[in-house]
Structures are given as C-alpha cells and as structure tokens.
Amino acid sequence: MLTTSDEEEALQGIVDAARELAHAPTAALVLPGIDDAWVIEMAAGDYASNIIGLEPPAKGSAMDVIRTSRGIVAPAPPGRHVLHEITEYGPSLYAPSRPTARQSASSCCGVTRAMTSSPPPTSRSPSASHTRRRWR
C-alpha cells in the first residue's frame, strides 16, 4: 500500500485492509468533495458500487465522526440518519483520520456488519466482489 504513488490506489488499499481486518462485508471511506460536501469516495466488498459517490447525511454517524474526530460504533441500522442504500446494513464502526492530533478529521473510514441476507436496496446493480463473513 505504501509502495504506490497513485493516491486512489493507496486509499483503496486502506479501505480493502479495513474491511479485511474487521471481517466486514463492506467498508467505505468518506472524503471531502466539492463545495464543502463529503462523499463516499472509496468502498470495498458487497454492493460497494452502490454507495460510491453518495453524500453521507449531515446528521449521520459518519459526519458525527468527522465533526468530533471520535470514532463510534453505531447500532443497526447505523444511526438515526441513514442513507437509503445502507438501511439493510447492520452495526457499523466509524473511525476518523486526521493529519495531526490538533486538526479535525480529514476523512472517515467505516466498516459494517451484515444485518440481513438480502442485498441493500438500490437502483444500481449489485456487484458483490467478496463473500460475506461474520465479525468475530
């Protein structure tokens, strides 16, 4: 992961590693976008293509982590304000990333457990690249 000079490849490697370490079916990375928007820029695992490009809710768990720079474990579905595309996901872990201890979070990485065996609702077609595994 650190041997590449390609930023997108390195960020995707972080998401892939987080998903693998957590034995999670899905992981995502929220990064700053255009005009103060935050966007799910990278994702890995089951239905990852369904969430890439979505903006997390302003009052949702991912944005709480970015605002406070404190990681959280959210219940199923993950928090009170949830994107429609992830309502079928189970408990989630959100971790902030920040350049230094004095700065606010510059990104948020989240991993989710599966809540049901049915795919998350979406208008996009599913692309499950990995099999589901249970968290230990």
β-bridge partners, 44: 27
**What integer pLDDT is reported at residue 90 of this predicted model?**
83
pLDDT for res 122: 47
d(CA 59, CA 32): 16
DSSP SS3 for 128: coil
We find that the CATH architecture of domain 7-114 is: 2-Layer Sandwich (3.30)
**Contacts made by residues 56-61, CB under 8 angstroms, sequence distance 24+:** 56/30, 56/83, 56/108, 57/81, 57/82, 57/83, 61/92, 61/94, 61/110
Kindly indicate the confidence band of residue 120, based on its pLDDT and cuts at 50, 70 and 90: very low
pTM for this predicted structure = 0.75
Residue 122 structure tokens:
């979406």
- Residue, of 78 and 135, whose pLDDT is higher: 78
Q: What is the pLDDT of residues 46-105, one digit of tens each?
A: 889 999 999 999 998 899 999 888 999 887 766 677 888 887 788 889 999 876 666 677
Q: Point out which residues pair with 36 in neighbouring strands.
A: none
> What residue segments make up the domains of the chain, in order of their start?
7-114
